[in-house]
Amino acid sequence: MNQTILKTDFKFDRLKSFYKGKVRDVYNIGDELLLMIVTDRISAFDVVLPRGIPYKGQVLNQIASKFLDATSDIVPNWKIASPDPNVTIGVKCEPYPVEMIVRAFLTGSSWRTYKAGARSICGIPIPEGMREHQRFEKPIITPTTKAEQGAHDQDISAEEIIENGLVPEEEYRLLEKYTMEVFMRGSEIAAKHGLILVDTKYEFGKKDGKIYLIDEINTPDSSRYFYAEDYNDRFEKGLPPRQLSKEFVREWLMANGFQGKEGQQVPEMTDEFVNEVSERYIELYEKITGERFIRENIDDIHNRIFRNCQKFLEDYR
């Protein structure tokens, strides 16, 4: 097996704090920069699985980096540079306490809510008679609160966000505008590669009175894609659309008796399965970007990342 990066413990100059997410390790450099390392960890059912996936971190980081560059004319974003295939370094912002989720189809959690009888999501009315995986007349924004670690995000309406003072109204309306424009740009790019951007989430922050798009965008871990070529045909026949996401990992876990419930054991991840997942992520990269994936040397990935990041930080100062 090739080496993977599962944890980091780098002692960068001017390090102020460190945050470990499910997949990302985030270093606060001098309260000025955020250095985000996308590891090869993989999570499903809110559980981080025991083995890493070679190249997964590179895939996610480079997809997000490309989409940040492709939307920088719409809204400023936090990215300054990507000094290593697994790393993005950018402006440290104060995050807004909401995530902006965009949905172009009635699928996933929105379908489950609808099927249970709800006819509005986050205060947005949903017509009667819709079917699973049906396209909305136009995309909708269904924000959620940003939960503390270990808790689940909660749906919230735009009116509640404003009334509760989570985001001032003028700023929130600007977040909505940016969200929809970035989503439409992502949809246009996806369409060029035979894909439909179904739903995704965006996060925003603020620094010195300026709004920035932050974190990752339009990756297969934060977004759902359908294959465009046979979506209409399958929908008309009542068949589920072919998806481009990490859903295949969840399906494998469920087939092996694991859904993240108490008392359940994560099934053994064999070398064969790990390599299969790695190849699927590389396939996702090539389909989403329309470019061939270049496998970086990962024989000494920890030292590679540290050297590249340290050099950037020295030059930046």
195-240 pLDDT tens trace: 999 999 999 999 999 999 999 999 988 999 999 999 999 999 999 9
84-141 pLDDT tens trace: 999 999 999 999 999 999 999 999 889 999 999 999 999 999 999 999 999 999 999 9
- Domain boundaries of the chain, sorted by first residue: 15-93+245-316, 95-244
**Which H helix or E strand runs over 113?**
helix 109-115
- Examine the pLDDT at 149 and tell me if it is beyond 70: no
243-296 pLDDT tens trace: 988 878 988 999 999 998 999 999 999 999 999 999 999 999 999 999 999 999
CATH node for 95-244: 3.30.470.20
The span from the CA of 8 to the CA of 26, in Å, is 10
Residues 183, 200: contact at Cβ < 8 Å?
yes
pLDDT of residue 90: 98
Higher pLDDT, 207 or 152: 207
For the whole prediction, is pTM greater than 0.85? yes
Q: What pairing do the DSSP bridges indicate for beta strands 87-91 and 33-38?
A: antiparallel
Q: Which of 49, 141, 70, 89 is nearest to 316 (CA)?
A: 89
**pLDDT band, residue 313 (cuts 50/70/90):** very high
pLDDT of residue 146: 82
Tell me the CA distances in angstroms from 230 to 192, 224, 234, 242, 265, one per residue in order. 15, 16, 6, 8, 37
- Examine the pLDDT at 2 and tell me if it is beyond 60: no
Residue type, 137: E
**pLDDT band, residue 1 (cuts 50/70/90):** very low
pLDDT of residue 147: 65
CATH node for 15-93+245-316: 3.30.200.20
Under DSSP, is residue 106 helix (H, G, I), strand (E, B) or coil? strand
The span from the CA of 225 to the CA of 287, in Å, is 10
Helices (H) and strands (E) in the chain, counts: 8, 17
Phi-psi region of 133 (alpha: psi -120 to 50; beta: other; left: phi over 0): left
12-24 pLDDT tens trace: 999 999 999 999 9
- Examine the pLDDT at 73 and tell me if it is beyond 70: yes
- The residues, ordered by sequence, that sit 6+ positions from 32 with a Cβ below 8 Å of its Cβ are 91, 92
pLDDT of residue 148: 62
pLDDT of residue 34: 98
Q: Which of 258, 253, 224, 221 is nearest to 240 (CA)?
A: 224
